[in-house]
Amino acid sequence: MQEVSEAGLMTLLSGFVIGILFGFVIQRGRFCMNSAFRDVIFVQDVTFIRAYLLALLIAIVGANLMEDLGVFGEMGLRRQSFNIIANIVGGYLFGIGMVLVGGCGSGVIYRIGEGYVSAIVGTLGFACSLVATIHGPLKPISSALKSFKVSIGSGDDAISNPALWDLFGGGITLKWLIIAIISAIIIPFVLKGNPFGKGPKKGYSWSLTGFLLGIILILALWSSFYWGGQTRGLSAAGPTAEAFLALILGNSMARFDPMFDFWGIFQASWSALYIIGIPIGAYISARGLGEFKFQVPPANEVIRVFLGSLVMGFGAATAGGCTVGHALTGVTSLALASIVSTIFIILGNWTMVYFLFIKPMQDE
């Protein structure tokens, strides 16, 4: 039997460890981007938004500082091409789908570790739709939408994967000026939520959750670069497809990461291994809190979750990422593609929240 290489072993360990840490923290904090966006208009609660923005603030400052210090080599932070139509359409559909599912990509995956059967259904539907869109019959539709690309500048100086500061001329000084402005907006909003107050009796407070998520994202960016070959950080879309293919076919078919062969049994990317670790980390946390319990939903909920997961998978593959991939990792790099995708994910989320929850209550 083939021996796993040292690089492959470290990829295995680092991917699993990051996934386990991520799954543990989001379970302890009951954190899901769907809930963060939904609660703003449904119950007028911004608790999870504060956690998200705190994580984002820590990651933006930390990751961009590491980039400018050369920690990520010449590659730097990975910013996606600005495929504006795909970012808009895919982001909006993903936002709609995650409300139907009841969770974002990572939110559904971590709930497997809590014993939710609906989360297993949602993850399988999400994975199948992702694979069908990235590699299968839905790829021509997604590719057509991605063909509308926007670059900043012209000629040899054109930037196909622009960051926010490239709109205003670019340069490191302007970059940090924009980061300073963003920080000045986020910090008062976070402090208004009393981040140093007493937390819940069980689990993590929103502030501890946000802080740990920011640290884990920075660690994931470094680890995915050092051991996985790309600064992919945290995501749930592409890595879920890669994990699904690795488990089913023995090959992740990764588009970005180098492939690592494990004992001749299967080939997997760093990101695929990290995804597999998420429900394990959530299970460890749920067991520790006494919250693990198999829960079987009614048939109508299973159907809604499955259909929503198909929409969510197509949207994520088309937009080039999910809430964690765009709204957290992508926005950390201030990539325009991720900023636009995140805006439309939120709009899609709010649209479906209105029609699924708010309007029926108003009609009663």
pLDDT per residue as tens digits for the range 157-208: 789 999 999 999 889 999 999 999 999 999 999 999 999 988 888 899 999 9
Please give the Cα distance from 136 to 159 (Å, whole number).
Answer: 30
Residue in 18, 42, 55, 20 with CA at minimum distance from that of residue 327:
55
* pLDDT(328) > 50: yes
pLDDT of res. 260: 77
**Confidence (pTM):** 0.94
pLDDT of res. 275: 95
Q: Kindly indicate the confidence band of residue 309, based on its pLDDT and cuts at 50, 70 and 90.
A: very high
% residues pLDDT > 70 (the chain): 97
Quick check: helix, strand or coil at residue 17? helix
How wide is the angle at C-alpha 52 spanned by C-alphas 113 and 83, nearest 5°?
95
pLDDT of res. 5: 57
The residues spanned by each domain of the chain are 6-363
Lowest mean pLDDT among 103-107, 184-188, 280-284: 103-107
* pLDDT(4) > 70: no
Q: Kindly indicate the confidence band of residue 24, based on its pLDDT and cuts at 50, 70 and 90.
A: very high
pLDDT mean over 112-119? 95
What are the two backbone dihedrals, phi and then psi, of residue 77, each rounded to the nearest 5 degrees?
A: -70, 140
Max avg pLDDT among 39-48, 242-251, 262-271? 39-48
pLDDT of res. 3: 43
**How many CB atoms within 10 Å of residue 68?**
14
Residue in 88, 95, 24 with CA at minimum distance from that of residue 319:
88
